Structure 1
């Protein structure tokens, strides 16, 4: 079977002392699941691994969530994205990523394609110069003053937009690094 590289994006770990997941233990959990070449990036829940199982990214995510819960005793929502999709997300970015600081551009990865109707309550011109665009299972956010000051990021995180979806955001520096780490 062909070896495919994936990125696992864990949501809400190692923030404010909650849901502590040491990266060495996360790599071991991935290896115990039979994955190869497990690496982590930063302490915020980014892992890369190779798999020959042929399972879908969704199946890999559910398997990882169950293994994390069994190992650490708490649930952590996970998204698993194959390297080809990560490269496509980077290539399709509607904003000039090369000209921006990584903290100005974010990708919110979604477990399912968000319907346009989810964004009906957002008055996009009212948030300028901040902007967003919806891509393939991703919401791109340009926040020139950073995510922490972004009013548009707050609006995009409201239940009307994300309810029922597993979502997690990464700044563009992290997206670029994950693209690099998942190259064949």
Structure 2
């Protein structure tokens, strides 16, 4: 069995796309997954599935089940435990930034086209930095001046890259990597 993390885009941020974590665990369990756990209230669910499961298929199954069994219809990105471990070990900004609040990872639904990647730039006047991970589906983000007021947001990434995305802070990424580690 492999451990996976599913990251839901835009849940529990306001009055829209609200789902309780108990409901999320129930839905993912009903799909046949094992040892289902949630992390925080922001749409992170960790579970076990077959070694040969396709993460894109898992993401689609979870998205459809959420839409069918709740009022939530959002993009879902799935990563394996080894993928998350590699991400946490490969952050080019982690060693130079002691303030983890300024480090994030954008999880993309699929790799964007090379033309979109080449055209991605931080809006003028901002100090944010980014680097694509080897997977091509994840983007390391560094915000020396903080993320809260940056125009280089998740919505900006989605528009520029043409793919769905969800962003998690570094503490959450590290926690999900730990939760998906198989002992």
Query: After TM superposition, is the score higher than 0.5?
Result: yes
CA-atom RMSD in angstroms: 2.1
Question: SS at the partner of 2:166?
Answer: strand
Aligned to 1:48: 46
CA distance in 2, matches of 1:51, 1:32: 12
Aligned to 1:101: 99
Q: Deviations over 1:35-75 (max 9, x none)?
A: 01111011010010011273200000000011101110341
Q: Larger deviation: 121-130 or 88-97?
A: 121-130
CA distance in 1, matches of 2:174, 2:153: 20
Question: SS at the partner of 1:151?
Answer: coil
1:129 to 120, 127, 143: 127
Aligned to 1:177: 175
TM-score, structure 2 normalization: 0.88
TM-score, structure 1 normalization: 0.88
CA distance in 2, matches of 1:128, 1:45: 29
Aligned to 2:140: 140
Residue 116 of structure 1 and its aligned partner are, at CA, apart by 4.2
Q: Deviations over 1:117-169 (max 9, x none)?
A: 2144455594563211111211111002221122333784262x231x12111
Long gaps (5+) in structure 2 = none
Give every structure 1 segment of 4 or more consecutive aligned residues whose post-TM-superposition deviation is greater than 4 Å. 119-128
Q: Deviations over 1:12-55 (max 9, x none)?
A: 11111111110001001111011011110110100100112732
Between Structure 1 and Structure 2, the one with more helix by share is: 1
Aligned to 1:117: 115
Aligned to 1:151: 151
